[in-house]
Amino acid sequence: MLAATSSSLWTLQGDPTADGRLQNLSRDVGMVGARAWCRDHLDRYYFLSSHGLYTVSASGDGLQALSEDVIPEQLTGVADTNTVLEYDHATRAVAIHIPTASVSWLWETERQAFWPFKVGYSGSHVAMGPIMLNNGSTNGRLRQLHGITAASSADVTWRVLVADTAEQVSINAKAAIETLVAGGTPTNIHSSGVWTAGVNHRSYPRARGMFMILLLSASAAWGWEGAVCFTEPSGQWR
């Protein structure tokens, strides 16, 4: 059994009323609150410390910091004792809810990445891609974009991001979503527009690059049926 204070972590072995033994695992890392932990399908525990997100086995073995290199600033120095962690078995992700924060965070255990999100009524943001605009040796240009939304859909804002690599355009899309969730205006967008309900007129972004991501956002109930991209070669890829 695991036990913790805000600044220490322990494991209890055996019967605490008989010959049980309390063993210290850390005198620096603890849990920020009584519900700031969760357990995954492999019986490993995740918990939020004031230093970041950690994992440990039920026996106390394998205490490991998961987020030292990638942790968002909002998840360092957390002192809210009402913080709650939940494990989603379908996506194998850890949800971190801090009542005093403006957003919650999702830690993807397989991709080792954080994503911000809001619970309850909020705008939604979906990133489609990365999509290669041409073959592997030449850049492509997004000549036309044709979107179709559901007949009863709210307005959907589309944004096009382009970059030389799939990794970079994904990083840019994540930064854009984080900015939108925080209520800001992303600066790494090549072109944008709004789709109304039903079949929309074609747009002409003329975005040039090797990879693109189509970012869709809405602030009310919406439905998206699809989009068609028309591309053309646009010079040698450096």
Instruction: For tokens 């072109």, name the residue.
Output: 191
pLDDT of 73 above 80:
yes
Q: Are residues 99 and 142 in the same domain?
A: no
User: Listing from the earlier edge strand, what are the strands of the sheet with 84-88?
Assistant: 84-88, 93-97, 104-108, 113-117
Domain identity same for 7 and 96: yes
Q: How many CA atoms lie within 13 A of 220 on its CB side?
A: 7
**Model pLDDT for residues 141-152, shown as the tens digit of each residue:** 899 999 999 888
- 29 plus 62 within the same structural domain: yes
Is residue 49 domain-shared with residue 139, that is, in the same domain?
Answer: no
First to last CA, the chain: 56
Name the more confident of 55 and 22: 55
135 and 105 share a domain? Answer: no
Q: What pLDDT, on a 0 to 100 scale, did the predictor assign at position 137?
A: 72
Which among 96, 117, 138 is the end of a domain?
Answer: 117
Query: Is 141:207 a contact under the CB 8 Å cutoff?
Result: yes
CA 67 to chain centre: 13
* 136 and 59 within one domain: no
Place of tokens 């492999």: 42
Question: Do residues 209 and 144 both lie within one domain?
Answer: yes
* Pair (132, 215) in one structural domain: yes
Residues 48 and 111 in one domain: yes
Confidence of residue 123 (pLDDT cuts 50, 70, 90): low
Q: At 81, is the secondary structure helix, strand, or coil? A: coil
- Contacts of 173-181 with C-beta under 8 Å, sequence gap 24+, read 173/127, 173/129, 173/213, 173/215, 174/113, 174/115, 174/127, 176/215, 177/115, 177/116, 177/125, 177/127, 177/215, 178/116, 180/123, 180/125, 180/217, 181/103, 181/116, 181/117, 181/118, 181/122, 181/123, 181/125
Q: In this structure, are 82 and 156 located in the same domain?
A: no
Place of tokens 């910091």: 65
Give the chain's domain count. 2
Boundary residue ending a domain (117, 133, 160): 117
pLDDT of the residue at 93: 92
If asked whether residues 140 and 54 sit together in one domain, one would say no
Q: Which domain, by its residues, includes 46?
A: 2-117
Q: Over 50: is that where the pLDDT of 121 sits?
A: no
Residues 6+ apart with CB under 8 A from 216: 125, 126, 127, 128, 156, 157, 158, 159, 224
Give the residue from 117, 141, 170 where a domain finishes: 117
Q: Are residues 132 and 231 in the same domain?
A: yes
Q: Is the pLDDT of residue 136 over 80?
A: no
Q: What is the pLDDT of residue 160?
A: 96
For the segment 14-29, the average pLDDT, to the nearest whole number, is: 78
Statement: residue 83 has pLDDT above 90: yes
Check residues 45 and 223 and name the one with the higher pLDDT. 45
- Helix locations, 77-217, DSSP H: 166-181
Write the CA distances from 159 to 51, 113, 117, 122, 124, integer angstroms.
Answer: 35, 23, 19, 18, 13
| Mean of pLDDT over the chain | 87
pTM (2 d.p.): 0.51
Q: How far is CA 52 from CA 67, 71, 197, in A?
A: 6, 7, 43
- Token pair in block for residue 72: 């968002």
pLDDT of residue 235: 66
The pLDDT of residue 122: 46
Place of tokens 């040796």: 137
